[in-house]
Structure 1
Amino acid sequence: CIDVCPTKAIVAPYEVDARRCISYLTIEYRGVIPEEFRTLIGNRIFGCDDCQLVCPWNRFAKLSAEKDFEPRHRLDSSSLIELFEWSEAEFLARTEGSAIRRIKYEQWQRNLAVSLGNAPTSRTVREVLEKRLPGATSLVAEHIRWAIRQHKERFTPAGSTPD
């Protein structure tokens, strides 16, 4: 688990620096995600669990047959863009009964902005980010601007400057 942690939050056996943990940053933390962790978050919008996937204690775990654990409202098959375009009312309706409700709409948007910043560069992704920016809260806007910069930097040919 120490080796697999993307942010090196597991600093020693049985010791986690929660301030570095993607689950903490995307679920519990309400502020601006430090830039040093944003690219490491990848496309995760609610937690990580990489350490759980490789944990020897979990090797015998089986998926639950409980209906309550099944994905709801196509959350497992929606694109990041689709999720980012949800209004607050859609977020509330589509996450009803889900642990995702632990984060509020503002954190949802923040996390999706980071994930879109890490998505493959395309005109569509940039347009969606730019469209959301004017009405965004200051927290979300900070992450949208970062995401747009990521796409501009990746899209810019060598030797030129981003627009």
Structure 2
Amino acid sequence: TSVDKANVLETFQFWKDVVTEVHAQYPDIELDHMYVDNAAMQLVKAPKKFDVLFTGNMFGDILSDAAAMLTGSIGMLPSASLNAKGQGLYEPSHGSAPDIAGKGVANPLATILSAAMMLRFSLNQEEAASRIERAVQSVLEQGLRTPDIYSEGTKKVGTTEMGEAVVAALRAQ
């Protein structure tokens, strides 16, 4: 789904035209267009409707923050910006969060999962990526939670403890 605001901003008509033109080279991929306000609503209403959302940085930043709440927290979302050669910039989708820096409450899982994406998409290390993802899943199944995803019945841990638990789960595999 290509997301734009062509009904209000002329520059997005250019976006839409280019996306449509490039899409013609990939007829096996389904393409639809959606205005960003509707995309935000649909993302909350029916997130499984989407496979890939394709948009510019500004709308992508807004939509990824909204989508984060589908996982429980922005601290759970890895991300990648890839070029045609598979080279990329891998980072959690959240920002630096200077307000919680040094407090031991940040969720390291998005960073860890971003490393798994790097292994998979840029370094062709599928098994290593899968091991990391299984370790994260194992830690979550154990009930460990940083404050952003904590709920009653789970164990609240800090940044370091969560990271160490993932390392221990990796070693246990």
Q: Which has the higher contact order (CA 8 A, sep 6+)?
A: 1
Q: Which structure has more strand as a fraction of its residues? A: 2
TM-score range normalised by the length of the shorter chain: under 0.3
Q: Which has the larger radius of gyration?
A: 2
